[in-house]
Homo-oligomer: A and B are copies of this chain.
Amino acid sequence: MEKINIEKKILRENDKHAFENVMFLTDKKKLCLNMISSPGSGKTTILARTITELKDKLRIGVIEGDIQTDIDAERIRATDAPVIQINTEGACHLSAPQISEALRTLPVDELDMILIENVGNLVCPSAFALGESGKIAVLSVAEGDDKPAKYPAIFAKSKVLLLNKIDLMAGGHVDFDIERATADARRLNKSLEVFPISARTGEGMSDWYDWLVESVRKGVD
């Protein structure tokens, strides 16, 4: 019981900051999306390609969460997008106070939207609200189509599921049943948008871009 109460207290403290971030972003009328996935599902590649291909339509700022290193932030910096690196020093998720600080540092008024790349972890980040407008789950087809059933929380809470690396399915290098993964994820979350993409080849990315541009226009509900 003590553990549960302590966890509640930590979450309460986090949620106070998350609420402040919601107020800040609402006031500024900025969309902010929190990308969550396992390590190596392709979040940074998706971000870099999205920023580059939408550069005439959307000004995107990035908050990069990593346990250590600034490898990902460097890759984003190469696109010329403003980026803030947060190193969690061992912690398995970003927390709302870290995002508050990053939002104070980013040139928010010059941006249309903010994309947060959370620490690579399919479990813990889904429990910590950051004040985001919505969560984006990323699942690489190399991880297997049983993941929505096995790790339900993030699929239940996301606005969008990006099924990445579909180029690996061509030629049968990877077995992944898109119908099964989509059906399992929609059982948890019937309004989930699912976009099968390859951030490497660009396949399927235009539907994701359309969703992003439309969401910035009207806000995520």
**Interface residues, chain A, CB within 8 Å of chain B?**
3, 6, 10, 38-41, 66-69, 71-72, 90, 92, 119-124, 140, 142-144, 146-147, 149-153, 165, 167-168, 171, 173-174
Contact = CB atoms under 8 A, between A and B. Distances in A.
Nearest to A153: B90
Contacts of A168: 142, 168, 173-174
B92 A147 contact: no
A140 B143 CA distance: 9
Contacts of A143: 38-41, 142
Contact of A150 (B120, B140, B151, B167): B120
Contacts of A92: 92, 121, 123-124
A150 B69 contact: yes
Nearest to A143: B40
Contact of A151 (B67, B153, B167): B67
A181 to B, nearest CB: 11
A192 to B, nearest CB: 18
26 contacts: A3-B10, A6-B6, A38-B38, A38-B122, A39-B143, A39-B147, A39-B151, A40-B142, A40-B147, A41-B143, A67-B123, A68-B149, A68-B151, A71-B146, A71-B149, A71-B150, A90-B153, A92-B121, A92-B124, A120-B123, A121-B122, A121-B123, A142-B165, A142-B168, A168-B174, A171-B173
Contacts of A150: 39, 66-69, 71-72, 120
Contacts of A153: 67, 90
B122 A120 contact: yes
B38 A39 contact: yes
A144 B168 CA distance: 14
Contact of A123 (B41, B72, B119, B149): B119
A13 to B, nearest CB: 9
Residue from A41, A69, A122, A124 whose CB has the most chain B CB atoms within 10 Å: A122
**Top-3 shortest CB links A-B:** A40-B143, A142-B142, A92-B123
